[in-house]
Amino acid sequence: MSNTMRALVFKEIGRTAVMEKPIPEPGPEEAVIRTTAALICTSDVHTVKGALPVPAGRTLGHESVGVVHRLGSAVTGFSEGQRVAVNAVTPCYRCSYCQRGFTSQCGGPLGGYKYTGQIDGNMAEYFIVPAAQANLAPIPADVTDEQAVYACDMLSTGFMGAEHAQLQFGETVAIFAQGPVGLCATMGANLMGAGQIIAVEARPERQELAKRFGADTIVDFTQGDPVEQIMDLTGGEGVDAAIEAFGFPQTFEACVRVTKAGGRVSNIGYHGENPNPLQLPLDAIGLGMNDKSIHTGLCPGGSERMTRFFRLLQSGRIDPTPMTTHRFGFDDIERAFDMMSSKEDGVIKPLITF
């Protein structure tokens, strides 16, 4: 048995490569997973473009599932060969940020996001799991790898968008952009009691998925100002909450505008592409007094949350796999990565199998 493995790495700005690396060894609190399936995330595309400074040779990837290869000495309750999923965010659960419940901010801002940014990512044949006791989520027998891998980032981020929208049952919500996390936000809002979901999206294949996942109405921003369209759809009053799943100042501002007084703006878009600050227009926030609130956040990690997604998958309440538009073996990982970068062929999520 070889002690090396292949990994997709960052080479230099704009370039990736597949590299041989030693199979990692777990520290006492860690585990090593042999990867069986993974998804490519647009944020890795951003990273390769230079959005996040990473050293050359750093493995990419943060959406992977697999089987336990080796366990650190302090990790109990798991066994080698067990199928597990690991969230993109792997908090220590013990620092002051984690103790206060802000596990995605483990150790400081965005610190729970360790793969790629702080350590090797997991688009590789094997990968390390920090604080494995808290971050290994056993996959039930009746949940497939393909289903489970969506819980690693897409579902967790999208559902956080819906959670931060703080919907009372029957309330109205607008969701800006129906890429993978926007689609998962739609699924989450639908599952958490929304009464009317307005999805803003122009691509037909994404519009169709949005409807399948629970959107009641589609607003096509190529057919007119989405703010006006949403105000019309809500009798001029606006929505109870808006979810920003695009990552641009214009959509963020639109979210602030379409919410009624007392409304919540829940940001899940990654705002690393446009350097301008986000803006809160004074009229849209009632000069600072109209009881609106703005919420930001990063994919919540941890095994307990993963387990709750698995229940929803097991009972058939959600099924994210229609988002898998393409499938590749790891041999074709660079081609898959290029496709995610160009967004060609209507790609939503390419699934990689090992």
Q: Name the nearest CA neighbour of 296 among 276, 271, 261.
A: 271
Cβ proximity of 242 and 258 under 8 Å: yes
User: Residue 262 or 329: which CB sits closer to a second copy?
Assistant: 262
Question: Would you count residue 96 as binding a second copy (CB under 8 A)?
Answer: yes
Q: Residues 121, 138, 180, 247: which binds a second copy (CB under 8 A)?
A: 247
> 302-319 as b/e, with b when 16 or more CB fall inside 10 Å?
bbebbeebbebbeeeebe
86 contacts 32 by C-beta, under 8 angstroms? no
Q: Quick one: 163 or 332, whose CB is closer to a second copy? A: 163
Per rule CB under 8 A, is residue 235 in the interface with a second copy?
no
Confirm or reject binding of residue 97 to a second copy (CB under 8 A).
yes
Answer yes or no whether residue 293 interacts with a second copy by CB under 8 A: yes
| Min CB(327)–a second copy separation in Å | 27
**Closest CB 336 distance from a second copy, rounded Å:** 25
Q: For residues 138-167, which are near a second copy according to CB under 8 A?
A: 159, 163
3-state secondary structure of 195: coil
Residue 352: C-alpha distances to residues 141, 203, 297, 347 (Å): 20, 24, 27, 13
CB of 228 to a second copy, least distance (A): 18
Site size for a second copy (CB under 8 A): 86
Identity of the residue, 35 or 303, whose beta carbon is nearer to a second copy in the bound complex: 303
Q: Let me know: does 165 contact 189? Beta carbons within 8 Å.
A: yes
**Torsion angle of the four alpha carbons 92, 98, 101, 104, in this order, in degrees rounded to the nearest 10:** -70
Place of tokens 């690693």: 152
Among 98, 143, 174, 209, binds a second copy (CB under 8 A): 98
H or E stretch including 233? Answer: helix 226-233
Provide the minimum distance between the beta carbon of 334 and a second copy in the complex, in angstroms, as a whole number: 27
- Residues between 199 and 218 with contacts to a second copy, criterion CB under 8 A: 216
Q: Is 258 in the site for a second copy (CB under 8 A)?
A: no
Instruction: Select from 302, 340, 347, 349 the one that contacts a second copy (CB under 8 A).
Output: 302
Closer residue to a second copy in complex, CB, 125/153? 153
- The tokens for 213 are 């996942």
Nearer to a second copy, 16 or 133 (CB): 133
Pairing assessment for the beta strands 83-86 and 137-138 based on DSSP bridges: antiparallel
- How many angstroms separate the CA atoms of 55 and 118, rounded? 10
Nearer to a second copy among residue 246 and residue 330 (C-beta): 246
**What residues from 32 to 71 belong to the interface with a second copy (CB under 8 A)?**
none
CB of 159 to a second copy, least distance (A): 6
Instruction: Determine which residue in the list 93, 144, 202, 221 makes contact with a second copy, applying CB under 8 A.
Output: 93
Tell me whether residue 40 or residue 239 sits nearer to a second copy (CB atom): 239
| Minimum gap (Å) between residue 209 Cβ and a second copy | 18
Closer by beta carbon to a second copy, 81 or else 277: 277
Q: Which residue's CB is nearer to a second copy, number 122 or number 157? A: 157
- For the chain, the first-to-last Cα distance in angstroms comes to 17
Q: Does 226 bind a second copy (CB under 8 A)?
A: no
Q: Give the 3-state secondary structure of residue 286.
A: helix
Backbone angles phi, psi at 19, to 5 degrees: -130, 150
Among 8, 41, 54, 92, binds a second copy (CB under 8 A): 92
102 contributes a contact to a second copy by CB under 8 A: yes
Range 163-167, long-range pairs (CB < 8 A, 24+ positions)? 163/188, 163/192, 163/266, 164/243, 164/264, 164/266, 164/267, 164/268, 164/295, 164/297, 165/189, 165/240, 165/241, 165/242, 165/243, 165/264, 165/266, 166/241, 166/264, 167/192, 167/193, 167/194, 167/240, 167/241
